[in-house]
Amino acid sequence: MANETTSSTLSELYTEIVAEAQFVATEQSIMRNLVRNYAITGGGKVVEVPIYSAVSAAAVSEATDLSNTAIDPSSVSITASEVGVMTTLTDLARNSAPRNVSADIGRLFGEAIAKKQDQDLIGLFDSFSVTLGDGTTAISASSVFNVASTLRANALNLNECAVVLHPKIAFDLKANLTNTFANPNAGDLQNEAMRSGFVGSLAGLRVFETSNMSNTGTAGDYKGAAMHRDALALAEMQGLKIETQRDASLRADEIVATAVYGVGEIHDSYGVEMHFDSSIQ
């Protein structure tokens, strides 16, 4: 069987003294908390999300019947599918290693599933009809104020909105805020960006950075977004599940991590794609 975890692949653990394990850095998931979450229950793998249009009230005269307003919601369907990762850990590898290798693998698999969810949601940024930038210029503070005005014009509460950017794109935003890192006394926001490198909130929007974002094929060119939490949705049928299965003839255990979920766009007008090019590589 290919891709097994054996005593050969874990040879680094077989030393007299083993230091604390080091894991390759993995970005913590941020998108899950920035979008609408649904649970798929009661059978089936599809969740139907009703969308109600806004209605308007009008002045009426005394003793006059109100005219009827029809309520006819549209809907968006989100279909769940499986994602997963597996390895086979041999008895010899597990028993001869001084660490709990199964737990280490479980952590790696859990982070892999979380990263996949982030990437699937970030992949929906390109579906927003409104786009700011064309991938040829760097972002600036005015860009954030621009998307904030767009979201606010759609009657959205900016407290429930966020901006998600790649760290290379966020660099230019911080440089713009701090006058290229040379003016730390311009104001509280600029000072905080200088001290901690964190933008925090700008134009009423929380600004987040994530490395779980692929470039468009051109170096430094990334598509972020500004969005309300109801712009996108994560529909979960099964959360992260890690299981093991014994293979006696192989003297090994299969370690399997799976999740069943779907992602989708709910309100197109609730999001703005932000397409910028980083000034650094």
Indicate whether 82 belongs to any domain. yes
Indicate whether 58 belongs to any domain. no
Indicate whether 189 belongs to any domain. yes
CATH of the domain at 220: 3.30.2400.10
Q: For residue 235, what are the domain limits?
A: 29-48+75-277
Instruction: Tell me the residue ranges of DSSP E strands in 41-193.
Output: 46-51, 74-79, 81-90, 131-132, 161-165
Taking only the tens of pLDDT, the chain with its 281 residues reads 566 766 566 555 444 444 545 555 566 788 999 999 999 987 889 989 888 888 888 888 888 888 888 887 888 999 999 999 998 988 888 888 777 887 888 888 888 998 999 999 999 999 999 999 999 999 999 999 999 999 999 999 999 999 999 999 999 998 888 765 455 555 555 555 444 445 678 899 999 989 999 988 888 899 999 999 999 999 999 988 888 899 999 999 888 889 999 999 999 999 999 999 999 87
Indicate whether 13 belongs to any domain. no
Indicate whether 262 belongs to any domain. yes
Put the strands of the sheet holding 205-209 in their side by side order: 131-132, 271-277, 221-228, 161-165, 205-209, 201-202
Q: Which residues pair with 164 in a beta bridge?
A: 208, 225
Indicate whether 168 belongs to any domain. yes
- As for how many domains the chain has, the answer is 1
Indicate whether 56 belongs to any domain. no
Q: Which residues are CB-contacts of 117 (< 8 A; sequence separation ≥ 6)?
A: 29, 31, 32, 234, 259, 261, 263
Phi-psi region of 90 (alpha: psi -120 to 50; beta: other; left: phi over 0): beta
Q: Could you give the CA distance from residue 112 to residue 138 in angstroms, rounded to a whole number?
A: 31
Indicate whether 112 belongs to any domain. yes
Residue 185: predicted pLDDT? 52
